[in-house]
């Protein structure tokens, strides 16, 4: 007897981690659909998303549909514009998909499920694509799913508050301005007022404050004052609020950790490796390493009931130790993300060689695969955040919110478009609409990925969205160029998808 079609998915939830950028996986995406409670199978999983499917017409394979084998005769399928992320098919389901190599109607529940998951798209979209109008097609297919699920807009307005230029470390790749300037509480409060004005003017639903520096814990009076003020003002303005402290982790005390926990402020700690791998690039002014103190801080934070997010900057110095740091995070149940270094003007270029970076990431993937049976929940976050600006949780047209939904506020209230461009002031928080001032600034653009010619046909275009636009501008002369890390993304994404396929099988308790 032929086994029934089996189509399973377990969407990666957005909003799983903290990044050092304006790279909100929950702000720029079509939101992930609700995780299925069922083991698999077409009808129950499809129910929430079939409702929006247009009836009738001919359907074909989604353009740039990615498919690859998994163990046990399963197959992983991924549509760049699909709403469900990675989908796993058994043999009969894969054959049902093959049947759409020539356009056909959605004649049965399996076909409708495949369409609902974005593996099939209306045939006229496919025809447009073959008529060499990929740009038009891209928008069509994307709009199709966007309309089916959620609006394609930024919902969260992110504000980077540079609480101080002081810092007790001298990290090798640091791009932040260094000095002795602290943000006074009244400037912090003015930044909150300005952010709320912009959030209301542009229809954002939520405000996210990132307390950063320098080392922001060196200016605790302003941190506490801004938090208190924003907590009172944001709800009055009808805005949800989220806060995160981005710290080097060397100054954490039990009192501060308890306060963060009690006030619901997330904690993100920079940790670039274990022992020498970290100390080699994150030392104090005297040259002393900071790993031991940070490891202690992480332990204290967990003991206080916090789950710190580890932010790892990957450079030529620590690239060979990625497996170690990933194992460290997974074994402690800590979310993390790997940020590929973005060299700043006047700073040493620590960009790792692509081959070494790929090898380092493969080592990290092996550690993740080894824990597949035991840590599937934690793996969600790891898969989402492993690869720099890539995000598998949902299609993204922009790699980050710079120039759209993000402002950076310096200690004196000065505005910038990105925290890596703080020297380029574009106004102050006392503007009527600080976000409008940032958007109007004639700086680097952050174009949607469809405007990046070399990315338009890439199957990963809505995963990496072309990468950091500022890095592309600096290294390739235009933000419309593909990421300088493009070759690394392309080499590792298939392996990440394979791992995600296996996680989906595991989550659905399917043995292979
Ligand atoms: S940067 Fe590279 S991997 Fe990303 S969308 Fe462009 S071509 Fe594809
Ligand atoms: S432009 Fe680059 S560095 Fe700036 S927020 Fe975006 S991704 Fe991050």
Average pLDDT value over all residues in the chain: 86
| Nearest-ligand number for the alpha carbon of 406 | 2
Number of domains in the chain: 1
The answer to the question of residue 141 being in a domain is: yes
The answer to the question of residue 449 being in a domain is: no
Give the span between the Cα atoms of 409 and 186, in whole angstroms.
13
Q: What is the mean pLDDT of residues 199-216?
A: 97
Phi, psi at 79, each rounded to 5°: -105, 130
Residue located nearest, by CA, to atom 4 of ligand 2 = 418
Q: What is the mean pLDDT of residues 112-139?
A: 65
| Nearest-ligand number for the alpha carbon of 403 | 2
Cα–Cα–Cα angle for 455, 460, 466, rounded to 5 degrees: 45
pLDDT digits (tens, 9 = 90+) for 405-437: 999 999 999 999 999 999 999 999 999 999 999
The answer to the question of residue 216 being in a domain is: no
The answer to the question of residue 400 being in a domain is: no
Residue located nearest, by CA, to atom 8 of ligand 2 = 21
Query: Does 64 sit in the ligand 1 pocket, CB within 6 Å?
Result: no
Its pTM stands at: 0.88
Q: For residues 309 and 336, is the Cβ–Cβ distance under 8 A?
A: yes
Which residues are CB-neighbours of 80 under 8 A, at least 6 positions away? Answer: 62, 63, 64, 66, 395, 458, 459, 460, 461, 462, 463
pLDDT of residue 169: 93
pLDDT of residue 120: 93
186-190, 225-229, 378-382, 412-416: segment of lowest average pLDDT: 378-382
pLDDT of residue 431: 96
pLDDT of residue 308: 97
Cβ < 6 A, ligand 2 pocket: 21-23, 342, 389, 399-400, 402, 418, 420, 468-470
pLDDT of residue 254: 97
pLDDT at 159 over 50: yes
34-38, 123-127, 135-139, 296-300: segment of lowest average pLDDT: 34-38
The answer to the question of residue 83 being in a domain is: yes
pLDDT digits (tens, 9 = 90+) for 318-337: 999 999 999 999 999 999 99
pLDDT of residue 396: 85
Q: What is the dihedral sign for C-alpha 362, 363, 368, 373? A: positive
The answer to the question of residue 119 being in a domain is: yes
The whole domain housing 127 covers: 32-149
Residue located nearest, by CA, to atom 1 of ligand 2 = 470
10-14, 48-52, 82-86, 384-388: segment of lowest average pLDDT: 48-52
pLDDT at 82 over 90: no
The answer to the question of residue 460 being in a domain is: no
The answer to the question of residue 66 being in a domain is: yes
Stated as kind and residue range, the H or E segment containing 109 is helix 109-116
pLDDT of residue 3: 76
pLDDT of residue 126: 53
Residue located nearest, by CA, to atom 7 of ligand 2 = 468
Q: What is the mean pLDDT of residues 9-31?
A: 51
- In a mutational test of the pocket of ligand 1, which residue from 489, 491, 496 has the highest number of ligand atoms less than 8 Å from its CB? 489
Query: Does 398 sit in the ligand 1 pocket, CB within 6 Å?
Result: no
pLDDT at 44 over 70: no
Measured from the Cα of 458, ligand 1's closest atom is: 8
Q: What is the mean pLDDT of residues 137-156?
A: 53
């Amino acid at each position: 007897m032929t086994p029934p079609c089996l189509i399973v998915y377990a969407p990666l939830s957005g909003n799983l981690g903290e990044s050092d950028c304006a790279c909100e996986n929950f702000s720029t995406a079509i939101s992930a659909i609700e995780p299925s409670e069922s083991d698999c199978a077409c009808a129950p999983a499809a129910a929430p998303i079939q409702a929006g499917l247009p009836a009738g017409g001919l359907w074909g394979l989604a353009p740039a549909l990615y498919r690859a084998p998994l163990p046990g005769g399963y197959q992983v399928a991924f549509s760049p514009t699909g709403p469900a992320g990675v989908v796993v098919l058994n043999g009969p389901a894969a054959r049902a998909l093959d049947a759409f190599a020539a356009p056909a109607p959605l004649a049965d529940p399996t076909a409708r499920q495949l369409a609902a998951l974005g593996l099939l798209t209306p045939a006229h979209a496919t025809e447009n694509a073959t008529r060499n109008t990929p740009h038009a097609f891209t928008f069509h297919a994307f709009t199709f799913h966007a309309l089916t699920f959620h609006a394609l807009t930024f919902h969260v307005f992110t504000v980077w508050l540079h609480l101080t230029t002081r810092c007790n470390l001298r990290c090798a790749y640091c791009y932040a301005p260094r000095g002795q300037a602290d943000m006074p509480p009244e400037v912090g409060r003015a930044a909150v007022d300005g952010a709320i004005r912009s959030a209301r003017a542009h229809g954002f639903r939520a405000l996210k404050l990132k307390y950063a520096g320098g080392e922001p814990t060196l200016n605790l009076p302003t941190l506490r004052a801004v938090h208190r003020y924003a907590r009172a003002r944001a709800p009055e303005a009808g805005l949800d609020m989220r806060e995160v402290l981005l710290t080097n982790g060397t100054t954490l005390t039990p009192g501060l950790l308890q306060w963060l926990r009690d006030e619901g402020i997330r904690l993100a700690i920079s940790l670039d490796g274990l022992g020498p791998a970290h100390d080699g690039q994150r030392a104090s002014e005297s040259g002393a390493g900071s790993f031991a103190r940070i490891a202690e801080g992480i332990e204290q934070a967990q003991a206080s009931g916090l789950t710190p997010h580890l932010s790892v900057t990957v450079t030529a110095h620590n690239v060979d130790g990625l497996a170690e740091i990933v194992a460290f995070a997974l074994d402690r149940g800590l979310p993390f993300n790997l940020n590929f270094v973005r060299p700043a003007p006047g700073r040493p270029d620590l960009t790792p060689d692509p081959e070494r970076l790929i090898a380092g990431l493969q080592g990290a993937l092996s550690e993740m695969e080894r824990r597949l049976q035991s840590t599937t929940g934690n793996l969600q976050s790891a898969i989402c955040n492993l690869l720099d600006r890539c995000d598998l949780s949902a299609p993204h047209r922009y790699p980050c919110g710079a120039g759209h939904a993000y402002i950076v506020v310096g200690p004196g209230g000065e505005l910038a478009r990105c925290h890596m461009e703080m020297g380029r002031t574009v106004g102050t928080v006392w503007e009527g609409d600080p976000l409008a001032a940032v958007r109007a600034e004639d700086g680097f653009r952050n174009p949607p990925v469809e405007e990046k010619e070399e990315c338009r046909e890439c199957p990963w275009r809505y995963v990496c969205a072309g990468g950091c636009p500022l890095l592309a501008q600096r290294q390739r002369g235009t933000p419309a160029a593909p990421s300088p890390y493009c070759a690394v993304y392309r080499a590792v994404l298939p392996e990440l998808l394979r791992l995600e396929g296996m996680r989906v099988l595991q989550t659905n308790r399917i043995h292979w």
